[in-house]
Amino acid sequence: QGGNNAGHTVVVDGKEYDFHLFPSGIINPKAISFIEERQRKSKSKSQKFDQSAQLKSYFPLYLLTGLKDWEKRLIISDRAHIVFDFHQAVDGLQEVQRQAQEGKNIGTTKKGIGPTYSSKAARTGLRICDLLSDFDEFSSRFKNLAQQYKSMFPTLEIDIEGQLKKLKGYAEKIRPMVRDGVYFMYEALHGSPKKILVEGANAALLDIDFGTYPFVTSSNCTVGGVCTGLGVPPQHVGDVYGVVKAYTTRVGIGAFPTEQINEIGDLLQSRGHEWGVTTGRKRRCGWLDLVILKYAHMINGFTALALTKLDILDVLDEIKIGVAYKLGGKRIPYFP
């Protein structure tokens, strides 16, 4: 599902949910939802979903009215990294710096995902297992991490003691939901037969390694993330479903060859209700880019495609599709 930088609008029985951290399967009372190793838990102040859904801040989780007993069917991996308030503050400061230095930013959601991955890669990150074990040790490491960021960003203000007090309270609330994620998945794969659906967030072209770098997210949102995020051996990956709209969209800046900055783009945006669920930003819209789609297939090996929003094109007399790229005047068979 990713961190709370990604949004999913889910409509079930006429009721609309905008999820940012919950797996979409949380709605199904018969399904167990598992937030896995690569995912981040934000302890930010509660976000507004939509006008109809009331919610309450609950560490990484959002309590929605009408969603009963979700705590009993949600499991959190002990290896999941924690996004702190200062990670989110730093995300915003970095965007300001990029704009000032380079005249453009990346267009992040400012949810602290990139800085948290930086902490993870620097081996200074803190995980759910750290929070739930020795709190004195956790506090010491938290203070060190906070001081590192304060030294890098002198204007950054962090209420260290206040944050630690909140975190200690959150720890006891989520403790019943936390499991050893690797063993949980092993049992799920080797125990009584189960249907296991892995839900990914963000598109293939936002993958940190294979996307339109640097205008990407901080994680692997291609199929390899199933193995590295969940600890699932590759031979257990079965069908891979690619989800693609009948036209192409993008939130934020970055390459977009088929973009339509005209009445066509406006029509797709308005008819398709193309707004970023997390940021509220308008999505950029354009014709379906088959080169991107083929590239995503090269990496993910789709066994099937789910084609969505075909009806948005119903009012158009003519539909165009991007079929090839030219580089230096020559047609190329790959995504450059």
- Residues with catalytic roles: 120
Q: Is 144 exposed, middle or buried (0-12, 13-18, 19+ CB in 10 A)?
A: exposed
Give every CB contact of residue 333 below 8 A, 6+ residues apart in sequence: none
Angle, alpha carbons 16-19-22 (nearest 5°): 125
Query: Which of 301, 297, 203 has its CA nearest to residue 255?
Result: 203
Q: Which helix (H) or strand (E) holds 40?
A: strand 40-42
Alpha carbon of 249 to those of 3, 21, 157, 183, 265: distances in Å?
A: 21, 22, 37, 38, 10
Q: Report helix angle 113-121 to 85-102, nearest 10.
A: 100
How far, in Å, CA of 115 to CA of 129, rounded? Answer: 20
Residue written as token pair 């609330």:
173
